[in-house]
Amino acid sequence: MGEPAKRRATYEELLAVPEPLVAEIIHGVLITHPRPGAPHARAASRLGIDVGGPFDRGKGGPGGWVILDEPELHRHGDVLVPDLAGWRRERMPEIPSAAAFELPPDWACEVLSPSTAAVDRADKLPIFARERVAHVWLVDPLLFTLEVCRLDGETYRTVATWRGDAIVRAEPFDAEELELSALWAR
């Protein structure tokens, strides 16, 4: 006799999670983790500024994107909260007024923490692939690395990994240089 079917977590359970925790539903399971530490928050904040200026606001760059911090993505029963996500304006010309987004982003970024790295890589990356998110960045503020993944069929292929103080052009934002040293809490 097989294992009994597990009950899927509900959105109401996610909403009941206490405020200081971040909550997601991944493959039907409610996952919680504490708010990120300073290195994580610094990397995500700086990256949002560095990518958002030229690509979202068009300030000194090409524009054409909507970049958001921690959007709540609802797709096929999963509720994901990437650290950053971006949509090409031609796909999302108007930002919805709802708190949650059903349109998958064109780019997602996960800033890795010791408590979230395994979930980000093993659980969320396949969901992003299923939803056809073209690019995912994995930023590790403790190892000082940026890993750029491009959707290649059903899975991601790592197209570049940089570390330290490199100045890079990372797709899909390769029209502008990104100084990695600005991301690290030093």
pLDDT tens digits along 104-121: 999 999 999 998 999 999
Residue 2 has pLDDT above 70, yes or no: no
For 23-39, what is each residue's pLDDT tens digit? 999 999 999 998 888 99
Q: Output the six-digit token pair for 73.
A: 């993505």
Burial readout 80-92 (b: 16 or more C-beta within 10 A, e: otherwise) = bbbbbbbbbeeeb
pLDDT band at 6 (very low <50, low <70, confident <90, very high): confident
What is the Cα–Cα distance from 148 to 135, expressed in whole angstroms?
Answer: 7
Going by DSSP bridges, is the β-strand pair 65-69/84-88 parallel, antiparallel, or unpaired?
antiparallel
Hey, how many other C-beta atoms are within 10 angstroms of the C-beta on 56? 19
Alpha-carbon torsion 53, 23, 172, 162, what sign?
positive
> 103, 87 in Cβ contact below 8 A?
yes
pTM of the model: 0.93
pLDDT of residue 139 exceeding 60, the answer is: yes
What's the angle, vertex CA 66, arms to CA 62 and CA 71, rounded to 5? Answer: 150
**What is the model's pLDDT at position 4?**
56
Query: 63-76: per-residue pLDDT in tens?
Result: 999 999 999 999 99
Percentage of residues of the chain with pLDDT beyond 70 = 97
Q: What is the DSSP letter of 94?
A: S
